[in-house]
């Protein structure tokens, strides 16, 4: 008893862990030493929720204390018409059935931007289906017009899937295409389209779009040009733990090289209205273990994000105890991709006050950030830290 009084909580965790492999992982976390793929598999196979959660929270608080980031952003989805046919997608309409879909003109998208005139948003997130008519010239014009109208708005746009299609159609190398978009005003890439890189799974769930290597090459090129990006992983469907580890391994290795990723975003597979509706969804315990293990393994990613429209508000709140330090933004839009896939969030909009309350309620400190994680405002007063 006397001994425990003088020990830190991580030392008590190490002392009380009987499994030698898990004990050694806990020691590595204490010492700030990277864990191996085999150790990551051990965490997936035998790390209890409380064990991985404790270690992840230790890392999260070492990196960020109680700070929990969000931003004020809005989304634009240019179209839900898509030439690809990912089996998990509840949102796209094949080009052959485009009468069921929507396509926004540049003017309509600019009108959306203008709705935010005078409002304190810092970012527009533009992602959609891959429409064959929306090409490089179209998107360059869109970006230029948004920048001309509102130069201070950070443009985070286009998944590697959209970019790969655009560049191939324009017969441009990734480097040349990316340079042109950057020059037009594109500043960051969102993390979508990553799914699961391993071909064993990728060929079953999204065979016809950019490969895992292609996705990584696009992000590496963006980083080399000085742009930042995010990375996602669609988990909880037909993949095995080994596929998740392979995916995270490739991201961690690229991050060692470029340091261009801001945040890792595990995306929980939702099974409504898609061709994988027969696949059961992961449990809440598995979701929290996923976040925690990602926080432990992805040691060179500064941030771990829970995307609340997909996970639900209360689960996003819970994730703040399992390694997550970012819950995206106010979003404030008509995002359809998640409500169509079965998320509880039929209307994914939260006011800044709601986000601040959500974070404060669990004893964390709300910090409004911009896309690059510069602090915009710290909400000290609202936080009920314990």
Residues that bind ligand V47 (CB under 6 A): 88-90, 190-193, 195, 230, 232, 234, 265, 267, 269-270, 274, 307, 310, 328, 337, 341
Q: Which of residues 206-245 bind ligand SF4 (CB under 6 A)?
A: 206, 209
Q: Which residue has the tokens 């008590």?
A: 12
**From the list ligand SF4, ligand V47, none, partner contacted by residue 327 (C-beta under 5 to 8 A by kind):** none
Q: Which of 57, 71, 92, 319 forms a contact with ligand SF4 (CB under 6 A)?
A: 92
d(CA 192, CA 232): 6
3-class SS of residue 158: coil
Phi and psi at residue 266, in whole multiples of 5°? -70, 130
**Cα distance between residue 60 and residue 281, in whole Å:** 27
Nearer to ligand SF4, 47 or 78 (CB): 78
**Minimal distance in Å, beta carbon 129 to ligand SF4?**
4
Footprint (CB under 6 A) of ligand SF4, residues 117-176: 129-130, 161
Q: In angstroms, what is the minimal distance from the CB of 270 to ligand SF4?
A: 12
- Nearer to ligand V47 by Cβ, of 89 and 121: the residue is 89
Contact 235, 267 (CB under 8 A): yes
Give the β-pairing of 326-329 and 303-304.
Answer: unpaired
Q: 52 vs 276, which CB is nearer to ligand V47?
A: 276
Q: Which of 43, 86, 163, 327 binds ligand SF4 (CB under 6 A)?
A: 86
Q: Which of 192-229 are b and which e, b meaning 16 or more Cβ less than 10 Å from the residue's Cβ?
A: bbbbbbbeebbeebbeebbebebbbbbbbbbbeeebbb
Shortest Å distance, C-beta 331 to ligand V47? 8
Q: Nearest approach, Cβ of 373 to ligand V47 (angstroms)?
A: 12
In the bound state with ligand SF4, the residue whose beta carbon lies nearer, of 110 and 205, is 205
84 binds ligand SF4 (CB under 6 A): yes
Range in contact with ligand SF4 (rule: CB under 6 A) among 84-92, 100-108, 255-263, 357-365: 84-92
Q: Which one of ligand SF4, ligand V47, none interacts with residue 348, CB within 5 to 8 A by kind?
A: none
Q: Which one, 124 or 276, has the nearer CB to ligand SF4? A: 276
Give the separation between CA 241 and CA 41, rounded to whole angstroms.
7
Angle (nearest 5°) at CA 209 between 127 and 180: 55
The least CB distance from residue 30 to ligand SF4, in Å, is: 40
The nearer residue to ligand SF4, 296 or 331, going by C-beta atoms, is: 331
Span of 81-89, 111-119, 284-292, 356-364 interacting with ligand SF4 by CB under 6 A: 81-89
Choose, by CB under 6 A, the member of 54, 91, 158, 261 that binds ligand SF4.
91
Opening angle at CA 339, ends 337 and 344, nearest 5: 140
For residues 74 and 84, which CB has a smaller minimum distance to ligand SF4 in the complex?
84
Closest CA to 82 of 187, 159, 5, 183: 159
Interface pick for ligand SF4 out of 14, 26, 56, 82 (rule CB under 6 A)? 82
* Backbone phi, psi, residue 231, to 5°: -135, 140
Which residue is associated with the tokens 């005003």?
Answer: 185
Helices of type H across 65-173: 106-114, 136-149, 160-169
CB of 195 to ligand V47, least distance (A): 5
Q: How far is the CB of 386 from ligand SF4 (least distance, A)?
A: 41
The secondary structure of 200-254 as a DSSP string is: HHHHHH-TTS--HHHHHHHHHHHHHTT-EEEEEEEESSS--HHHHHHHHHHHHHH
CA distance 60 to 53: 10
- Binding residues for ligand SF4, per CB under 6 A? 82, 84-86, 89, 91-92, 129-130, 161, 206, 209
């Amino acid at each position: 008893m006397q001994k425990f009084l003088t020990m830190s909580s991580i030392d008590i965790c190490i002392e009380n862990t009987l499994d030698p492999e898990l004990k050694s992982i806990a020691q590595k976390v204490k010492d700030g030493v990277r864990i191996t793929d085999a150790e990551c598999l051990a965490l997936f196979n035998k790390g209890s929720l409380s064990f991985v959660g404790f270690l992840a929270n230790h890392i999260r608080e070492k990196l960020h204390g109680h700070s929990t980031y969000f931003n004020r952003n809005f989304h634009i989805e240019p179209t839900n018409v898509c030439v690809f046919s990912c089996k998990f997608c509840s949102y796209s309409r094949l080009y052959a059935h485009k009468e069921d879909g929507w396509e926004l003109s540049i003017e309509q998208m600019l009108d959306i931007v203008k709705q935010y005139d005078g409002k304190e948003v810092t970012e527009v997130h533009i992602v959609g289906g891959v429409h064959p008519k929306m090409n490089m010239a179209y998107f360059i014009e869109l970006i230029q017009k948004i920048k001309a109208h509102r130069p201070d708005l950070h443009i985070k746009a286009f998944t590697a899937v959209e970019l790969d299609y655009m560049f191939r159609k324009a017969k441009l190398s990734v480097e040349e295409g990316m340079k042109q978009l950057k020059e037009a005003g594109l500043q960051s890439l969102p993390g979508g389209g990553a799914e699961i890189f391993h071909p064993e799974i990728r060929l079953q769930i999204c065979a016809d779009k950019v490969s895992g290597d292609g996705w990584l090459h696009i992000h590496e090129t963006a980083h080399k040009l000085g742009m930042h990006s995010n990375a996602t992983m669609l988990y909880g469907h037909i993949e095995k733990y080994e596929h998740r580890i392979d995916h995270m391994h490739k991201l961690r290795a690229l991050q060692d090289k470029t340091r261009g990723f801001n945040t890792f975003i595990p995306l929980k597979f939702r099974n409504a209205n898609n061709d994988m509706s027969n696949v059961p969804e992961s449990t809440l315990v598995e979701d929290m273990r996923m976040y925690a293990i990602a926080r432990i393994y992805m040691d060179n990613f500064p941030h771990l994000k829970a995307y609340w429209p997909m996970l639900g508000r209360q689960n996003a709140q819970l994730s703040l105890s399992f390694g997550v330090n970012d819950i995206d933004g106010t979003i404030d839009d008509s995002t359809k991709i998640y409500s169509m896939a079965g998320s509880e969030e039929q209307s994914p909009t939260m006011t800044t006050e709601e986000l601040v309350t959500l974070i404060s309620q669990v004893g964390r400190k709300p910090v409004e950030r911009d896309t690059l994680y510069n602090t915009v405002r710290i909400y000290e007063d609202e936080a009920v830290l314990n």
